[in-house]
Amino acid sequence: MTRIDRRFAKLAAEGRAAFVPYVMAGDPDRETSLEIIRGLPAAGADLIEFGLPFTDPMADGPAVQLAGQRALEAGMTLQGTLDLVRALRETDDETPVVIMGYYNPIYSMGVETFLAEAKSAGVDGLIVVDLPPEEDDELCLPAKAAGLNFIRLATPTTDDRRLPKVLSNTSGFVYYVSITGITGAAEATAAAVAPEVARIKSQGGLPVCVGFGIKTPERASEIAKVADGVVVGSAIVERIGAGQSPAEVLAFVKSLADAAHNAKG
C-alpha cells in the first residue's frame, strides 16, 4: 500500500472525507512556498497536491496560470519541485504527496530518471492531465511499476462508455472534475456531484475526490458530504498571489479542512 492507500483507509475508518489542498510548487518563491507546504499537514491537509509549473498549462484557469508564472519566474523547475517534496519529508513522512501537472517537463527529464527521483524524494502519486489512457505506456504503467499511484481525471462528460477506460490502471483515487472548463470557474454543487461520485465508485471502487469549483468552507462541507475527498486549489493560490502571509494562507486552509472533516460528523 502507498501512503495514499493508507490515508484513505484511515479516513474511511474514521468516517470522514479527505481535504486536499493544491499549491503551485515554488509560488511565489521557494522559501515562502516551503513554509506554506510544511504548514499544510498541521492545517488539516490529508494529502497535498504539488502543482508542477509549466509554460503552457492548458487546463488551468487564470489563478493557477498566474501561480505557475510566478513560480517559473522565481526559478522553479521539475527538479526544484522534487526538492520541495524532499524538504517536506524532513518534517513529515506521513502526508501523501501528489504531483499534478503536464507531461512535457517529465518527458524532458526522462521518464526513468523522473520516476526514480520522484520515488526517492517521497512522491506518492501523479496526476498528468494531458496523458489520456491511450498513452498509458508513456508514464502510467512505468509509474505503477515504480510504486507510484497514477491518478486519473473524470469529468461530467466522461460517459459510461468512456469511464472504464479512464479507470483502467488508475490507482490511489479518482479525481472528479466537478465542472466543465478550466480551474477556478463555476462553483460545484453537491446535487450535481453526488450521482457522478456514486457512478464512478460503482465501476471502479476507488475513493473519489472532487475538485474544481470549491472556493469556500461552506462549499467544501457540502461536497465532503457526498465525496471521499475535497480538493481546493484556485482559492488558495489566489490568496498566495494576493500577497497573504503563510500564516494567513494556512488559516484559510484550516477553515476549509475543518469544514470538510466535520461534514459527515
pLDDT at residue number 186: 63
pLDDT at residue number 6: 97
CA atoms within 13 A on the CB side of 31: 1
pLDDT at residue number 10: 97
Q: Identify whether 58 is part of a domain.
A: yes
pLDDT at residue number 59: 77
Q: Which residue in 5, 27, 46, 60 is the catalytic one?
A: 60
Q: Identify whether 245 is part of a domain.
A: yes
Q: Identify whether 264 is part of a domain.
A: no
d(CA 233, CA 245): 17
162: cell is: 468512456
Kindly report the number of other CB atoms within 10 A of residue 145's CB atom.
9
CATH code of the domain containing 144: 3.20.20.70
Q: Identify whether 50 is part of a domain.
A: yes
Catalytic site includes residue 49: yes
Q: Identify whether 265 is part of a domain.
A: no
Q: Identify whether 52 is part of a domain.
A: yes
Q: Which residue in 49, 117, 196, 222 is the catalytic one?
A: 49
* Exposed / middle / buried, residue 185 (Cβ in 10 Å: 0-12, 13-18, 19+): middle
d(CA 198, CA 168): 17
pLDDT at residue number 66: 96
Domain of 74, in residue numbers: 3-259
pLDDT at residue number 189: 86
Catalytic site includes residue 90: no
Q: Identify whether 217 is part of a domain.
A: yes
**Region at 176 (left for phi over 0; alpha for psi -120 to 50; beta for the rest):** beta
Q: What is the pTM of this model?
A: 0.95
- Number of domains within the chain: 1
pLDDT per 10-residue tile (average), the chain, 265 residues: 96 97 98 98 98 89 94 98 98 98 97 98 97 96 98 94 96 91 66 94 94 94 97 97 98 98 86
